[in-house]
Structure 1
Amino acid sequence: MLNSSTFTHSLSAEYPRPQLVRPDWVDLGGQWRFEHDDDDLGQDAGWFADPSQFGQTITVPFPPESPMSGVGEPGFHPVVWYSRDLSAADLAANGQAEPGSRLLLHFGAVDYRATVWIDGHLIGTHEGGQTPFSFDVTQALAGEGPHQLVVRAEDDPHDVAQPRGKQDWLEDPHVIWYHRTTGIWQPVWLESVSAQHIDQLSWTPNVPCGSVAIEVELYSRPAEAVTIQVELMFDGRVLARQSYATASPRSRTVIDIAHQVNGQAFENLLWSPEHPRLIDARVTILAEDGTAIDSVSSYFGLRSVAVAGGQFMLNDRPYYVRSVLEQGYWPESHLASPSAQALRDEVQLIKDLGFNAARIHEKVEDPRFLYWADRLGLLIWGEMGSTFEFSAEAVSRVTREWTDVVRRDRSHPSIVTWVPINESWGVQQIAHDAAQLAFAQSLYHLTRALDPSRPVISNDGWEHAESDILTIHDYSADPNELDASYRDTASIRDLVEGIGPAGRRLQLVERPVDGQAVMVTEFGGVSYAPDAPADSWGYSTAISAEDFERRVGGIVGSIRRSRMLSGFCYTQLTDTLQETNGLTDANRVPKLPMETIRRIIVGNEN
């Protein structure tokens, strides 16, 4: 629990929602009672009121399929139940004694559909396995405890209209799909807030104007006008203070940063991977008499991203993207991080290997990972975990959940590109079905409407609808073939006008190649794992460390030699289950000396 009114980056890193931090909260992770409900009998049997038959113990927030959960059962289990007592000590540690305060129960993510009860009374439900949700549980937790918190999670392994990413529909992982993640897999916590409080906030920097827009969403419409006070700080000095009155539950204002008036010094505050400068913020609600009603700590990065002149632009300058495909999967905890520290270590590992970016693949990552990408300086491509079918239900689910993803993460300076669809997953007939193409187009425009400040890729890798970057997936193991494909504009035009490397058309919405920013966003995939089982998988295979270095160096070198490409994404960072095509093994141990991998990735860049 945070018990200091002074917030710093290090404190923010522990809080499950690092861009909206308060001091009064308590982590509910740890030992919970647990039970599978394969026949879905629990609801009718009233388990929500009497969980005494829960015979197992699970460590939250690790999915029950994972070893760290203490359950370690990866088979088909479509319904699971959790129970935990909320003690008087939990409530006291949360600061609930404050007069007039409210208690919020937060879930970082529960896959896929959650129902929550306290003391047998329904609190609420949520659908969407990759997004957070909260309930006001003040009345439910009134009176003497302990109180009984019960969660039912439903995750049908055969429902391929659920956004599920790389979670396998078969019982055992195969090819590029992994164990399922059922139930709670991100933090659960209680937070004490005032009756009127900040529910959401977001930041949109404007580098040319030297300003930032803040949007504040209050818990409810104020009975009378309140004042929102914003203070911005960098390196211990105040950059700006601004207050405005509002009687609306949603408000927006623009804050000028005086430091940016000096055009010769404006770059000193800009955020980039090389200089990950974060501007701290304190946002406070003041009553009419000046009393502070609520106060939160936040931060943002002053930076811009765009595509212009065939280049990816960071802070209005061409920026070459050296990215790696990040599955965000650990052997002991699966899609959940084994610890908060592991998230920091992952970002640091990616940077140490020479990359300046990561593409989070078929997963919506923990906000604490994004915090470390912000803090340490790593560009992130934010991607949706896909469905596997196209239907009205899949369209509805993806649209709703993707909207929540973009709204949750749009203030992170590290996120520079949005990817709602990857390789036509969920729209497998997009080249032949006008409805599927319309859906990809609609997601592109929806994303641009929610966040016009970043490029959007409608369908990464092939069969693009409208996209801001032309991205290509090419797993050729021959450097000479890659040289020929990306030598010049004419070569790339031949790919676009014909059939792409994966046997798919690259663009379904016609657009000239000239002037487009082009990236190879999946390539490599060289398998090297001498002790791996026979079903190990990769796009090509190395037989020794020397052969692995030669193969990876050859294909990365070829991609880097192309003057037509503005970036790349190598597949992949780590071995993951049967996928043995990582630059490191599953435990994050590099397969070559760190310096060797870094030299290959960075090339001749300083």
Structure 2
Amino acid sequence: MSSHGAVDATAQDGTYPRPQLVRPQWHDLSGEWDFARDDGMAGQVDDIVFDRRIVVPFPPESPASGIGETGFTPCVWYRRSFGRAELADAGFGAESPRVLLHLGAVDHAAEVWVNGRLVATHSGGQSPFHADITRAVDPQGDNALIVRAIDLPEDVSVLRGKQDWRERPHSIWYHRTTGIWQPVWLECVPEAAVETLTWRTDLPTATVDVDVALSGAIPRDAWVRVSISHDGERLADVRVRTGGRRHCPVRLVIPRQLNGQQYEELLWSPARPTLLSAAVTLESESGTAIDTVASYVGLRSVSVSAASLLLNDRPIPVRAVLAQNYWPDTHLAATADTLRREVELILELGFNTARVHQKAEDPRFLFWADRLGLMVWAETANAYAFDERAIVSLVDEWTALVRRDQSHPSVVVWVPLNESWGVQHISHDARQAAFSRSIGDLTRALDGTRPVISNDGWEHTDSDIITIHDYEPDAHSLTERYGDPARLREMLDGFGPAGRRMTVGPHDGAAPVILSEFGGVSLETGGADDWGYSSASDPAAFERQVTAILRAVRESSPLAGFCYTQLTDTGQETNGLLFDDRSPKFPVERIRAAVTG
């Protein structure tokens, strides 16, 4: 499959796997592949017997994959072929002779061969990687693509998130995701090409900065041209000489934004999610285009005051929902249509923010968040152990994810750690506290334009927002805790509802406070494994309890916002506002009223 003529990246249909760097031609390698299990991990690329078929990119644990085996699966192999038709679809030709193979996410460690040649290795189950496979490809014949994935089920030093280390899901953990779970695709590019784009905006100076990373043989006399437009109006256009460098920083000034009486018209916000179209072209000295890509940018700023999250320097109440983004048929993977629908559902329920929990979501989800106006707290899966492997794993993968997602205007908060997972002794182990502080500072060094929550829920070492997790089922008790500033301050200076210290080390009390997990009410269905933080016996009782809890938290003025747990039932965790098929447990308009007041 290919997408042609995607000149305006703001108007794409949501299927393109890399929505902020779009080329008009590509080929999706999703579909049926040959498949083999290798539980002993003894197989070699030349002797694997592929005796099964699997539908990529759905993990073998999921029904949609056609495998549906949820037990321990330490090692799997995939194989498919591609040839002239697929390469032509991806744009192969004299002007685009380099063939790139992209893998959106493979959990956890991957090796990739093309025609028997090892072309890529990668570690990290959520981060993308690609390989230039030009020298391995026969452009006239069939090409064999093989992927091996290793994901040791009981390895707690890798980033597991909600993937259970036990064979059968329990409590808040779910079936594992092994191997390929995001798109695999081909694109063909010129000898010199645009590789990545990193956008940043500054509202007071009306400037847009973009770091253009180039690959291949960059001519010394090449130029980079960047143009930004909206609704047919050219807002800015700049041409910069590369000097043969692989990184070319470009700054554009948008004169229209210097008019203080109209500058807000083009700003991105949930109420008006304006996206500006961008075109980035690598040009010769004479102005001939060598490579052109489409992108988009949102003009907005994110910061905090002592009492609020600030979007475009204005307080915005956070009405968030915890989203596991896990589906019964596909598990952590999703189709393009499913990702769009999830964003739409969250907005229809009255939320303006999603906290995608213990998962770095597919960039196509972030595209719809950008396009439709949903703020996102970007989180990563965490490890469960604290050791050298876990430290390196989190630093490496989190760095890759921040770099991947930092240009999305919808991403307003970074969350590298949750509930001291992997740093369970942070309050009395100086090394673990140092790691929490350092991952927060690393995030700020990579991207200083957003708030960072160093450890969501409790034991904050250096957070720009203080967050609390509290599954108290009684609405009156929630009002007492969070409606009184003095009582809330007493909690923040000591121990929180879970019996954990709220802060580790000095803090000045100047950060806004958000109740970032609460609710968790399960509607009892009689299932033996149904699980929630509290329960209601019937739909009417469920609606009363959820509405009362939301009202108590919503009306607690010392809070800067909230994040309700959770959007949907997920496996045995039956505490969603929606069932796992995304049908509501009480009418959508009444859920929306409870959320928004």
TM-score strictly above 0.5? yes
* 8 Å contact from structure 1 (residues 49, 119) kept in 2: no
Structure 1 position 88, deviation (Å): 1.9
The answer for the alignment partner of 2:560 in structure 1 is 566
The 5-angstrom pairing of residues 353-368 of structure 1 reads 353-368=349-364
The separation in 1 between residues aligned to 2:6 and 2:479, in whole angstroms, is 57
Give how far 1:236 is off. 2.1
Question: Corresponding residue for 1:406?
Answer: 402
Which aligned pairs between 1:593-604 and structure 2 lie closer than 5 A? Answer: 593-603=587-597
Match of 2:305 among 300, 305, 308: 308
- Counterpart pick for 2:512 among 509, 514, 517: 517
**Residues 344 and 120 of structure 1: is their aligned pair in 2 closer, same or farther, counting only changes over 3 Å?**
same
2:455 to 456, 459, 479: 459
Q: What are the superposed Cα offsets for residues 468-524 of structure 1, whole Å, 9 maximum, x if unpaired?
A: 0010001101111111111232111111222100110100022133x3200000000
Cα RMSD, aligned residues only: 1.2
1:180: which partner in 2?
176
Q: Partners of 2:139 and 2:224 in 1: how far apart? A: 34
2: CA distance, partners of 1:496 / 1:75:
42
Q: Which of residues 464, 481, 484 is equivalent to 1:485?
A: 481
Q: 1:303 to 1:143 in 2, by over 3 A?
A: closer
* Structure 2 counterpart SS, 1:324: strand
CA distance in 2, matches of 1:488, 1:312: 20
Offset from partner CA, 1:205-233 (integer Å, 9 cap, x none) = 11121111111111146241311101101
- Corresponding residue of 2:579: 585
Aligned to 1:197, the other structure's residue is in SS state: strand
Alignment partners' CA distance in 2, 1:456 and 1:143 = 47
Separation of aligned partners in 1, 2:313 and 2:222: 38
TM-score, structure 1 as length reference? 0.97
* Counterpart position of 2:533: 539
Which residue identity lines up with residue 522 of structure 1 in the other structure? E
The equivalent residue for 1:16 is: 17
Worse-superposed segment, 317-326 or 495-504: 495-504
- Matched residues in 2 for 1:124 and 1:253: separation? 31
Alignment partners' CA distance in 2, 1:492 and 1:527? 27
2:326 maps to a residue whose letter is: Y
Is the 1:2–1:11 contact (alpha carbons within 8 Å) kept by the matching residues of 2? no
Secondary structure of 2:580's counterpart equals coil
Match of 2:256 among 252, 259, 262: 259
Using the TM superposition, name which of 355-364 and 94-103 deviates more. Answer: 94-103
**How far, CA to CA, are the matches of 1:310 and 1:11 in structure 2?**
37
Q: TM-score, normalised by structure 2?
A: 0.98
Aligned to 1:270: 267
Picking from 150, 155, 173, the partner of 1:154 is: 150
- Give the counterpart of 1:576 among 567, 570, 576: 570
Structure 2 counterparts to residues 172-321 of structure 1, below 5 A: 172-220=168-216, 222-247=218-243, 248-321=245-318
Cα deviation for residue 111 of structure 1 reads 0.3
Counterpart residue identity of residue 593, structure 1: P
Question: Does residue 76 in structure 1 map to residue 72 in structure 2?
Answer: yes
Deviation at 1:12, TM superposition (A): 5.5
Superposition map of 1:132-171 within 5 A:
132-171=128-167
Letter in 2 for 1:494: E
Call closer, same or farther: CA 1:5–1:359 in 2, change over 3 Å.
closer
| CA contact 2:10–2:276 (8 Å) conserved in 1 | no
C-alpha separation in 1, matches of 2:191 and 2:407: 25
| Residue identity in the other structure for 2:313 | D
| Aligned pairs for 1:100-115 within 5 A | 101-115=97-111
CA contact (8 A) 1:12 1:19 kept: no
Tell me the residue number matched to 2:126.
130
Residue 330 (structure 2) pairs with residue 336 (structure 1): no
Q: In the alignment, what sits opposite 2:42?
A: 41
The 1:270–1:100 alpha-carbon spacing in structure 2 relative to 1, beyond 3 Å, is: closer
Partner of 1:556: 550
Residues 77-123 of structure 1 deviation map (CA, whole Å, 9 limit, x = unaligned)? 10000000112211122221234520000000000000011111111
- Secondary structure in 2 matching 1:482: helix
Distance in 1 of aligned mates of 2:505 and 2:448: 20
- SS of residue paired to 1:34: strand
- Which residue pairs with 1:527 in the alignment? 522
Q: Name 2:377's counterpart in structure 1.
A: 381
Gap regions ≥5 residues in structure 1: none
Amino acid at match of 2:487: S
1:542 is matched by which residue type in structure 2?
Answer: A
CA contact under 8 A between 2:92 and 2:98: conserved in structure 1? Answer: yes
SS in 1 for 2:192: coil
Distance 1:281 1:50 in 2: 48
Matches of 1:585 and 1:441, distance apart in 2:
38
Amino acid corresponding to residue 274 of structure 1 in structure 2? A
Output one character per residue of 1:97-150: Cα deviation in whole Å (capped at 9) or x when no partner: 234520000000000000011111111200100000000011111353211100
User: Do 1:423 and 1:459's aligned partners in 2 also have CA atoms closer than 8 Å?
Assistant: yes
Structure 1 vs Structure 2: percent identity of aligned residues? 52
What letter is aligned with 2:8? F
Contact 1:221 1:249 (C-alpha < 8 Å) held by counterparts = no
Structure 1 residue matching 2:136: 3-state secondary structure? coil
Asked whether the equivalents of residues 12 and 21 of structure 1 are also in contact (C-alpha less than 8 Å), the reply is no
- Deviates further, 304-313 or 469-478: 304-313
- Residue 416 of structure 2 is aligned with which of 413, 417, 420? 420
Q: Distance in 2 between matches of 1:79 and 1:369?
A: 28
- SS of equivalent residue, structure 2 residue 570: coil
Shift in Å, 1:158? 1.1
Measure the CA separation in 1 of the matches of 2:305 and 2:445: 20
Deviates more, 1:585-594 or 1:221-230: 221-230
Q: Which moved more, 1:401-410 or 1:135-144?
A: 135-144
